Amino acid sequence: MTGFIILLAIVLVVVISVQIGKIVELANKIRGQEESDRINADRTAFWLLVFGIALILGTIWSCYHYKNFMLGYGPHEAASIHGKKVDSIFNLTVILTGIVFVLTQVALFYFAFKYKGRPGKKVLFIPHNNKLEFYWTITPAIVMTILVVSGLMAWNEIMADVKEDEDFIEIEAVAYQFAWDIRYPGKDHKLGTRNYKLISGTNGLGMDWTDPKTHDDFIADQIVLPKGKKVRVRITSKDVLHNFYLPQFRVKMDAIPGLPTYFVFTPEKTLDEYKLELRKYPEYLEPSDPKDPFGPKKWETFTYELGCAELCGIGHYSMRKVVKIVSPKEYEEWFNKQNSVYFSTVRNTDDDPNKGKVLAGEPITTSVETKEKVDTTVIISKESLNKK
Amino acid sequence: MAALTHLEEEKLIKEQGYNDHFYDHHHGDKHQMGFITKYIFCQDHKIIAKQFLITGIIWAIIGAAMSVIFRLQLGFPEADMAWLRPFLGKWIVVNDDGIGSLDPNFYYALVTMHGTIIVFFVLTAGLSGTFSNLLIPLQIGARDMASGFLNMLSYWFFFLSSVIMLASLVLSTGPFSGGWTAYPPLSALPQASQGSGTGMTLWLISLTFFVVSVLLGGVNYITTILNLRTKGMSMWRMPLTIWAFLITAIIGLLSFPVLVAGFLLLMFDRGMGTSFYLSEIFIGGQALDNVGGSPVLFQHLFWFLGHPEVYIIILPAMGLVSEILSVHSRKPIFGYKAMVFSMLAIAFLSFIVWAHHMFMAGVNPFISNFFVLFTLIIAVPSAVKVFNWIATLYGGNVRFNSASLFAIGFVSMFISGGLTGIFLGNSTIDIQQHDTYFVVAHFHIVMGIAAFFGMFAGIYNWFPKMYGRFMNETLGQIHFWGTLIGAYLIFGPMHYIGLAGVPRRYFRFDSFETFKQFDALNQFITVCAIIVFALQILFVVNFFYSIWKGKKVTSKNPWESNTLEWTTPIKPGHGNWEGNIPTVNRWPYDYGKDGVDFIPQIKPLAEGEQHSELHQ
């Protein structure tokens, strides 16, 4: 049915246009060529002017109407420190290009209107004007200089890697068709070695268990990060290209197999703070599910998200992961509750290269949460420790 | 001094023209014996131009129809698509309730093919191929291209490439579906995606043949322009169209081979187990042996063509628009030399900005500094061109018809799309805007719509030269207004969707809280896209109707233009001019000089008259 309507609409547009064409030509014939040329020129010139004005007003209106979609306005304020810089350079560019847009479009359509054709009219024979051309070469050059300088200053600051002695959290995002694995370094704050050849059903990331740094690494089902602390995300992929994209934080970087990349950012707003801000905007007070008008509102169901921004195959649109920014205290609590992959699933199984050996610094006490989940392998390891 | 009458014009060519003895040896018609040599394996540049144009139109319809289908998916993901089953077969999956939905595999194939077809087959072959072939010999005063045979091969390689691409559309695994940029590993590994199997193999072969076509054409265009100009046609007396085609051909010749190099390495990775682009990959439950390659290398090779490619698309349109604006404003193009130098500057810069497509692709952020700088410098020659077009209208006597309206529309689109490029060229803003709908909106306006507008302007303007008839003017103007308004309504809202962060190439948006808010806008865009598509069908109807039934051209020079193509007979045969080749005495933009409406290039200077180009 839809198809039929669409095809019908296309046919109708064509038929109607052809009919209009015939009528106009008939009218021109009746009027005489010169007269109809004059009328047509007037009409076209008028509509060009109207279009020019409508384009300018439409653009300004839509900028205002959709201001809440623009970077740095309304709910689309960046939730990270460097994001503020991105937003401010965006806004500088909006203003400068906006001025150029209005001036050139007005000139284009106004001149087309003003200098509409009349038989025998004399034109201005001006092949060129060096002075004018000099000014309109130099002006864009100056404007571009402003944008390049401000843009690059921000860029080099944003893209700088962390320094060794800095206080930061490093996490790793590993992309694959079609999901993300987020690895945290555990208590030693160091990510252990991985080798793609070690990837197996039980070791999805190919962590090399002979490297003790892997032992406390854990994989989280959400990205949880504390507010106000610098984060370095090590980004990589297992199969094809993906892109680590956090829209609210102005973070984006390709995930490349065999070539780890990084992005450093500092979250500035917790998820709860961000949601409270969203409450101020009417579009977020609407029900999240239009079919359920009394269900949760949009600001309530909102969450920070990680998505993929590099075409990676048919599931490209579904690589979602929830991102939570919490207070440092909440983060600490959450962090302590996480179980290391090694000790919860690998230790003393056949996959463990250290099977039967005692590891230096092996945790003797574990948090309450882990105790409930303790499996036999962990118990065995403890017993062997006690015997010592 | 008054404009020339036709008799005076013929007399001038006869007396002052150059006799190249073309007709003495009767080789002029020797290639046009039968139907096959005249219309199929033809070596006449005018027929080859029409072959490029009509093949391009067919591809444009296919490419645009694809966009309508995936726009339906994006605007109305829940709608029943079962009605498309007769066309798309198994790619429409019908569930138990009889509701048909698009297979995501085919959605991505459609997106990929839409890009490939429009960029290469329509806006490279259809635009540059058509008008370079048609106008170069006619406007520089040559009998034909330097090598008619290579020119014929150029078309037939394009045809071969088209056939292969067409064949890939009907494969059971579907055509290639990894995006028109074909980034490996997705494009290298059949395990990664259905379309990366046979579909990708055919895609690579097809585009390799396409590059052969472009190179054969390019060599010919450059040779012809440099060597076959008629007497008096110095470089600074060439119309801007010819300058544009020359520069375009040079860019193509320098950049397309790099693409083939990239493709070859990709073929090796696909078929011979090399690791140019592959490293440390675990896919389909298996760790591959390839180590040490870099997917980023392909991106460098691809964009070393890919970026010049957008200028290969837009420069011919710029040339056509410059000529058309001048002719229909009855005024010389403003700043002729500045126009040439800005095209040269754009061409040069186009080779050192490729990595601005890769700011977020894992290249060293320090390197990006240079690419930001050069990218934003391109805004300067582009701005000069825009100002010059606007200044050409100033003080003119603008004749409104489909050709000049589309030229004005081109300038408007080029401004709008060019300005959003300033956002994306700035790497800091690109962090957020990279691969979002903002990018989609930007390049569709600046190189999609703008290039189409240039092409439409060119078709309406030179249709009389191609077929000896006019296209229907009223239908042309309906086509113009609908497309102008429709294009802004389609791509305007996309900027806001992109600013809100919505990534491109998503099959649906509903799994993300952040991206699912824009159903209404997406529906609006889809409806506009369908209407604009209908208007293009109107254009096609007008085009083919006018070939046989259009209003006949009654005078040699219907637009009262200065350039040489309008001194040929209404329907020029092989060899273009019946007797001598005209010689040139002045630049092509003497419109309104000393109060005379137009002075053709063949007319000698009057007593005491100064060359206009000397004032440049």
Contact yes or no for B530 and A117 at CB 8 A: no
**Contact state of B383 with A136 under an 8 Å Cβ cutoff:** yes
- Interchain contact B368–A (C-beta under 8 A): yes
For residues A121 and B321, which has the higher predicted lDDT (pLDDT)? Answer: B321
**Least CB–CB distance from B362: residue in A2, A253, A301:** A253
- In tens, the pLDDT along B161-190 reads 999 999 999 999 999 999 999 999 999 999
CATH: 1.10.3980.10, 1.20.210.10, 3.60.15.10, 3.30.360.10. Which one for B6-278+289-603? Answer: 1.20.210.10
Angle, alpha carbons B299-A241-B275 (nearest 5°): 65
CB contact under 8 A, B291 and A51: no
Residue B102 phi, psi dihedral angles, 5° rounding: -80, 135
Token reading at A11: 């046919």
Q: What is the predicted pLDDT for the residue at A382?
A: 44
pLDDT of B29 reads 52
Kindly state whether B534 is in contact with chain A, defined as any CB-CB distance less than 8 angstroms: yes
Average pLDDT score over residue span B67-91: 90
The shortest C-alpha distance from A65 to chain B (Å) reads 10
pLDDT at A362 over 90: no
Task: Report yes or no: B579 and B12 within 8 Å, Cβ to Cβ.
Answer: no
* Amino acid at position B526, single letter: T
Rounded to an integer, what distance in angstroms lies between the CA atom of residue A158 and that of residue B615?
A: 50
Q: Are the beta carbons of A93 and B429 closer than 8 angstroms?
A: yes
Flag if B183 and A108 touch (Cβ within 8 Å). Answer: no
Whether residue B415 and residue A101 make contact (CB cut-off 8 A), yes or no, is yes
Task: Output phi, psi for A176, to 5 deg.
Answer: -155, 165
Q: Does A17 touch chain B (CB under 8 A)?
A: yes
pLDDT at A370 exceeding the cut of 70: no
Mutate which of B400, B406, B483 to test chain A, going by most A C-beta atoms within 10 A? B400
Q: Where are the alpha helices (DSSP H) in B290-446?
A: 295-329, 336-349, 365-377, 379-393, 402-425, 427-433, 437-443
A92 with A212, same domain: the answer is no
Contact A123 B472 (CB under 8 A): no
Please indicate, yes or no, whether residues A114 and A254 belong to a single structural domain of this protein: no
Q: Which of B564, B416, B431, B558 is nearest to B494 (CA)?
A: B416
Cis bond before residue B351 (omega within 30° of 0)? no
Q: Is the ipTM value over 0.85, yes or no? A: yes
| Residue A149 belongs to a domain | no
CA A338 – CA A370 distance, rounded (Å):
8
- State how far the Cα of B367 lies from the Cα of B378, in Å rounded to an integer: 18
- Residue A256 sits at the chain B interface (C-beta within 8 Å): yes
User: CA separation (Å) from B127 to A281, B311, B403, B448?
Assistant: 47, 12, 15, 12
Q: Does position B39 have pLDDT exceeding 80, yes or no?
A: no
- Asked whether residue A124 is domain-assigned, the answer is no
Q: What is the mean pLDDT of residues B332-357?
A: 94
Higher pLDDT pick, B572 / A5 = B572
| Mean pLDDT, rounded, for B307-336 | 95
Which of A191, A185, A175, A176 has the alpha carbon at shortest distance from A235?
A: A175
Q: Could B193 and A254 be called an inter-chain contact, meaning their C-beta atoms sit closer than 8 Å?
A: no
Q: Say if residues B459 and B547 touch (Cβ distance below 8 Å).
A: no
DSSP string, B541-561: HHHHHHHHHSPBP-SS-TT--
Indicate the pLDDT class of residue B33, thresholds 50, 70 and 90. Answer: low
Give CA–CA dist B88/A211, Å, rounded.
53
User: Is A145 within the bounds of a domain?
Assistant: no
Which of B432, B483, B525, B539 to probe by mutation at the A interface, max A CB count within 10 Å?
B432
CA distance B157 to B167: 15
Section B332-345 average pLDDT:
94
**Separation in Å, CA of B397 to nearest CA in chain A:** 4
Residues A112 and A197 placed together within one structural domain of the fold:
no
State how far residue A388 is from chain B, nearest Cα, in angstroms.
40
Mean pLDDT on B422-445: 95
Radius of gyration of chain A (CA): 31
Residues of A in contact with B337 (CB under 8 A): 128
Instruction: Report how many domains make up chain A.
Output: 2
Which residues are registered as beta bridge partners of B591?
Answer: B598
Bond before A247 cis per omega within 30 degrees: no
> Do A72 and A205 have their domain in common?
no
**How far from B26 is each of B41, B419, B426, B502, CA to CA, in Å?**
20, 54, 60, 64
For an interface test with B, give the residue of A42, A316, A320, A324 to mutate (most B CBs within 10 A).
A316
Strand-pairing partners, residue A297, are A287
- Return the pLDDT at A1: 61
Write the CATH number for A348. Answer: 2.60.40.420
Contacting residues of A for B423, CB less than 8 Å apart: 90, 93, 97
Largest CA distance in chain B: 86
DSSP assignment letter at B363: -
Mean pLDDT of chain A: 86
Q: What is the mean pLDDT of residues A210-224?
A: 91
How far apart are the CA of B150 and the nearest CA of chain A, in angstroms? 38
Helix, strand, coil tally for chain A in percent (to 5): 50, 15, 35
Residues 6+ apart with CB under 8 A from A277: A75, A77, A269
Domain residue ranges in chain B = 6-278+289-603
Measured in whole angstroms, the distance separating CA A245 from the mean position of its chain's CA atoms is: 5
pLDDT higher than 90, residue A360: no
CB-based contact, A156 to chain B, within 8 Å = yes
**Amino acid found at A168:** F
* A309 close contact with B: CB closer than 8 A: yes
Rounded average pLDDT over A178-203: 91
Contact criterion met (CB below 8 Å) for A93 and B426: yes
Query: Does B395 contact A at CB distance below 8 Å?
Result: yes
Mention every residue, 6+ apart, whose C-beta is less than 8 A from residue B602.
B9, B12, B13, B16, B17, B564, B567, B582, B583, B584, B585
Give me the total of CB pairs closer than 8 Å, taking one residue from chain A and one from chain B. 382
pLDDT score of A277 more than 50: yes
CB–CB contact A257 B281 (8 Å): yes
- Same-domain pairing of A114 and A240: no
In order, the DSSP letters of B78-124 are: TS--GGGHHHHGGGEEE-TTS-EEE-HHHHHHHHHHHHHIIIIIIII
pLDDT at A376: 44
In a domain, A270, yes or no: yes
Q: By percentage, how much of chain A surpasses pLDDT 90?
A: 55
One-letter identity of residue B94: V
CA distance A342 to chain B (A): 21
* Single-letter residue type at A266: T
On whether the CB atoms of residues A278 and A299 are closer than 8 A, the answer is: yes
Residue A70 lies in a domain: yes
Taking the Cβ of residue B94 and every Cβ of chain A, the question of whether any pair is shorter than 8 Å is answered with no
Cβ of residue A240 closer than 8 Å to a chain B Cβ: yes
pLDDT of B87 reads: 86
- For residues A100 and A97, give the distance between their C-alpha atoms in angstroms, rounded to a whole number: 5
Amino acid A367: pLDDT: 44
Section A305-322 average pLDDT: 94
Tell me, yes or no, whether A58 and A178 share the same domain.
no
Please say if the pLDDT value at position A22 is more than 90: no
pLDDT at A305 over 90: yes
Residue with tokens 């197996």: A200
pTM of this prediction exceeds 0.90: yes
In this structure, the number of other CB atoms found within 10 A of the CB of residue B28 comes to 17
Is residue A14 domain-resident?
no
Q: B561-613, pLDDT tens digit by residue?
A: 999 999 999 999 888 888 889 999 999 999 988 888 899 999 888 888 888 76
User: Which of A26, A136, A264, A274 is the best residue to mutate to test the B interface, defined by the most B CB atoms within 10 Å of its own CB?
Assistant: A136
Residue A66 belongs to domain spanning: 31-118
The whole-number pLDDT of residue B610 equals 81
Put simply, the answer to whether A259 touches B531 (Cβ < 8 Å) is: no
- The verdict on residue A155 lying in a domain is no
Percentage of chain B beyond pLDDT 70 is 97
At B472 the pLDDT is 92
The amino acid at residue B118 is: I
- Mean of the pLDDT values across residues A184-212? 90
A300 touches chain B (CB under 8 A): no
Nearest to B296 among A154, A156, A259 (CB): A259
- Output the pLDDT for position A378: 44
Asked if B182 is an interface residue toward chain A (Cβ–Cβ < 8 A), one would say no
The chain-wide mean pLDDT, for chain B, equals: 91
Single out the residue in A102, A118, A134 at which a domain terminates: A118
Nearest CA-CA partner of B352 in B300, B428, B315: B300
Is B609 part of the contact surface with chain A (CB cutoff 8 Å)?
A: no
Q: Is the distance from CB of B125 to CB of B234 less than 8 angstroms?
A: no
Report the pLDDT value the prediction gives residue B595, as an integer from 0 to 100: 85
- For the segment A160-180, the average pLDDT, to the nearest whole number, is 92
pLDDT tens, position by position, A31-61: 777 788 888 889 999 999 999 999 999 999 9
Give A261: exposed, middle or buried? Use CB within 10 Å, 0-12, 13-18, 19+: buried
What are the C-alpha distances in Å from B111 to residues A22, A208, B12, B209, B256?
38, 40, 55, 22, 23
Question: Tell me, what amino acid is at B130?
Answer: T
